[in-house]
Amino acid sequence: MEIFDTPAALRAFAFAARAANRKIALVPTMGNLHEGHRSLIRIARPLADEVIVSVFVNPIQFGPNEDYAAYPRTWADDLAACEEEGATAVFHPTVEAMYPEGKPTTYVTETAISPFLCGASRPGHFNGVCTVVTKLFMAALPDVAVFGEKDFQQLAIVKRMVRDLDIPVEIVPAPISREADGLARSSRNRFIPEGMRPQALSLRHALLAAKAAWDGGERDAQALERILRDTVAREAPDGVVDYARVSDAETLVPLTGAIERPALAALAVKVGPPRLIDNIVLGR
């Protein structure tokens, strides 16, 4: 497994691979790799000859009051995980290597899907995501890139971005990987205070309750959102709901009234310090 720490070094590897007709898959991550990230690498493996995992905590996608400094960095373990899952290269640049001029003054901005959900409470977040993903694409030159449905909005935005900009990368979605009790795996789960895990599970329970109602024929967006809110209020009395929304599964536009197409039920709830997100697609 090769390790690169500058975009130029990775690009040289990618050019050589492409010249040899070797297909490249990219799995972008912020490190602290868990089973969810591993599942992305396993999905990527049969799709390409080279599987590049990037490990980079991207400062420009964090707001001033967010957890950039506290974000867990576990490079040695991440390297071992990439090796175990059969990655052929790891890209682990410093902030200076990615942003030699400091904060960039050129950003990639998606404007239709980004304003809702996480974009509403994290202004600028998806500009940072789109910008770093574009930079990673320019360095890794992938044929395919794998993104988790855990970050459903991010996946939808990246799909739109590659369409809009004619970026020749196939975006492959990966299902949400969960703990045995149903909690969506996340690098931030380690910050859930001991004793608050049952409250953290309220997100999953709320989404399953909405799904049960949907399967029982409920199609009213507000009624489904009420189920999300009521479940979280009941099971997570200390939780602070950022959003509990039913949106169009493609455009992420918030829905009202009768739903006629697949819909995304999505939640963001602060449970202690960490802000947890989870989602489920209704009608898929």
Smallest separation (angstroms) from ligand AMP to the CB of 154: 6
62 counts as binding ligand AMP under rule CB under 6 A = no
Q: CA torsion 138→143→146→151, rounded to 10°? A: 50
89-91 and 240-248 beta bridge pairing: unpaired
185 counts as binding ligand AMP under rule CB under 6 A = yes
| CA angle (58, 183, 45) in 5-degree steps | 60
Contact 78, 27 (CB under 8 A): no
Q: Which of 34, 37, 92, 125 is catalytic?
A: 37
30 counts as binding ligand AMP under rule CB under 6 A = yes
187 counts as binding ligand AMP under rule CB under 6 A = yes
37 is catalytic: yes
184 counts as binding ligand AMP under rule CB under 6 A = yes
* Number of CB atoms found within 10 A of residue 108's CB: 20
Smallest separation (angstroms) from ligand AMP to the CB of 216: 27
135 counts as binding ligand AMP under rule CB under 6 A = no
Helix (H, G, I), strand (E, B) or coil at 196: coil
> Residues 137-176 vs ligand AMP: string with x where CB under 6 A?
----------xx-xx----------------------x-x
| List 14, 26, 36, 225, residue binding ligand AMP (CB under 6 A) | 36
91 counts as binding ligand AMP under rule CB under 6 A = no
Contact 158, 170 (CB under 8 A): no
Contact 219, 258 (CB under 8 A): yes
